[in-house]
Structures are given as structure tokens and as C-alpha cells.
Amino acid sequence: MIKEKKIKDLLKENDIRPKKKLGQNFIFDENILNKIADSIGPISGLSIIEIGPGPGGLTKSLLRCNPKSITLVEKDVSFKGILLEITKNYPSVTSNLIFDDVMKINLDELEVLKKNRVKYISNLPYYISTQVLLKILPFHTNVLEATFMFQKEVAERLIANPHNKKYSKLSVIAQYCCNIKKIFNLNSNIFYPKPDVDSCLLNFKPKDTTCIDVYNELKNLTKLAFEKRRKTIKNSLSNIEGIKGLLEKLDIDDQCRAENLSVEKYTNLAKCLVDRKLV
Ligand code: SAM
């Protein structure tokens, strides 16, 4: 293997400066990058999709864990040279570089997802972090898990429980699809340039009970409920025909507010609405 260069030096050599509008806050500390890569468990024999590899710090730590293949999706083409240099150091790992906007790609159609077991990983660009998550939820059947870095505030919303101000539409729909575990917080000091907020690494493991029709219904339902989160659930869902009877049947107190209803109760309600459409 050719001696690897430091990511910071590669950036300097290629005269690349971080672009704020692309959410470019890089991690250079190899101990931290290795800790993130290790947190996704053994990956030999598995395929990895990394969103936003940037100058490849995390990519390098992942390659050292010897996955079967790695697919990199990066919008900023100025990293092409660096990423090619890094990946060519690991000839035993099949690498696939895609220079495109992740929001414009149909990730479920990627070749790698057809025949492989895949793990997603990303230090997400924060300006689109929730959009990226919502884009891949519910996971394709070949996705084993996803490990994503979010702004701490967004991570707190994702894992929030009922009766909490942070409990939101995002909490309900993400927790319906996945068991979500906090891995660790990361101080903003470790990023270059330093962002205004701290970060948090979360792991998402898909639940095998997820049903796409219920998921879609849940999205509509939680949009209505949380749009008017100070109203009682009876009022915020009043446009749904027969809502009073449904709430009664499911033993849901019609005076409670959006943030008081568990994921299970929202799911039961969504299931009833799906079943009703099928009749
Ligand atoms: N993985 C690197 C690290 O940990 O140091 C960089 C992470 S940086 C927070 C986010 C990366 O996502 C940047 O490289 C940025 O160019 C890329 N990015 C931003 N918007 C993107 C998009 N729409 N599609 C794909 N990549 C994007």
C-alpha cells in the first residue's frame, strides 16, 4: 500500500476550502473517525453506502475495516481526485463513486442494493439531514442498519418520547420504522470548520413489522396532529371522517394533545384508517 496522506494535507494540496452551503464540516481526528466506523460493528462481507464522504476521512476508516464494497455518494465533484486516491489504496474493496445530489438519486435502485446486505453511514450535511433520512425510510429490505450523525437538536427529536416538547412527527414516523439508539454525542470542536451546534451519532435498525401503507398513513396523520400541537387530538384530526368513534374504539382520550399519544397509538390509528380504505 502506498503511504497514506493526512486528509488535511490532501485538502491543502488540492486547494479545497470547505463550502458552507454544502454543509461541509469535516472531521480530521482519526481516533474519532475510527470510533464512528467501529460503532457500526464488523463490516467484512457487507456493503457500505456512505453519503457525503467529502475528503474521505470516514471513508478511510471504513475501508480499513475491509467491507465487501463501498458506494460513495457526493455532490461536490472537487473531492473526486482525493476520493480516487484514497479508494485505490484498498484494491480488495470494490468502490463505486457517484458524484450527484443524494436527493436526486433513487437510492433503492442502486445496483449494490440488489444483491448485497448493506449498511448506510454518514456524517450528514445538516441542511438536508432529516430529508435524507426520510428519503430512505422505510429501509429497503437489504438494508441492515443506518448510522447517521445529526445536529444534537435533531437527534433529540428523533429519539424523543411522548409527553416531551421534542416529541414530533419525525419521532413518530422514524420510531415506527426503526429501533433508534444513541451512540454518542460529539462536541462541535472536533469539526472543521466548527459548526454552531454539537452533534450526535444515531443508529437505526429497521423493525420487521413496518408496512408501507401504514407508514404513509402515519405521515398524513402526524402532519395533521402536530401542525396544531396545542389543540386536542379530536380537534386537530377533525377532518378525518368518524374520528370520534375511532378514538373511542382505540381507547384514545380525545382530549389529549399530539405529544401525548404514543407511537403505538398513532400506529393503531393509522392501521384502522388503512383497513377502512381497503373495505
Ligand atoms: N464525511 C466527511 C467527514 O465526516 O469529514 C464530510 C461530512 S460533511 C458534514 C457533509 C458532506 O456531504 C460534504 O462532503 C458535502 O459536500 C456532502 N453533501 C452536501 N450536500 C450533498 C448532497 N445533496 N448530496 C450528496 N452529498 C452532499
Question: Hey, what CATH class is 7-206 in?
Answer: alpha beta
CA-closest residue to ligand 1 atom 18: 52
Two domains, one topology: 7-206 and 212-278:
no
* pLDDT score of 7: 81
Q: Is 127 in the pocket of ligand 1 (CB under 6 A)?
A: no
The rounded distance, in Å, linking the Cα atoms of 102 and 164 is 32
Q: Is 103 in the pocket of ligand 1 (CB under 6 A)?
A: yes
Across the beta sheet with 118-123, the strand order is 94-99, 69-74, 47-51, 118-123, 143-151, 199-206, 178-186
Q: Is 16 in the pocket of ligand 1 (CB under 6 A)?
A: no
Domain ranges of the chain: 7-206, 212-278
Q: Which of 189, 171, 168 is nearest to 180 (CA)?
A: 171
* Pocket-testing residue among 24, 50, 97, ligand 1, by greatest number of atoms within 8 A of Cβ: 24
CA dihedral 89, 90, 91, 94 (to 10 degrees): -130
Split at pLDDT 50, 70, 90, the class of 140 is very high
Q: Is the pTM of this model over 0.85?
A: yes
Cα–Cα distances (Å) from 181 to 35, 39, 49, 50, 143, in that order, read 16, 11, 20, 19, 17
CA-closest residue to ligand 1 atom 10: 125
* pLDDT score of 15: 87
Assign domain 212-278 one CATH number from 3.40.50.11310, 3.10.20.340, 1.10.8.100, 2.40.30.10: 1.10.8.100
The pLDDT tens digits for 217-242 are: 999 999 999 998 889 999 999 999 99
Residue 95: enclosing H or E segment and its boundaries? strand 94-99
Residue 243: enclosing H or E segment and its boundaries? helix 243-249
Q: Is 24 in the pocket of ligand 1 (CB under 6 A)?
A: yes
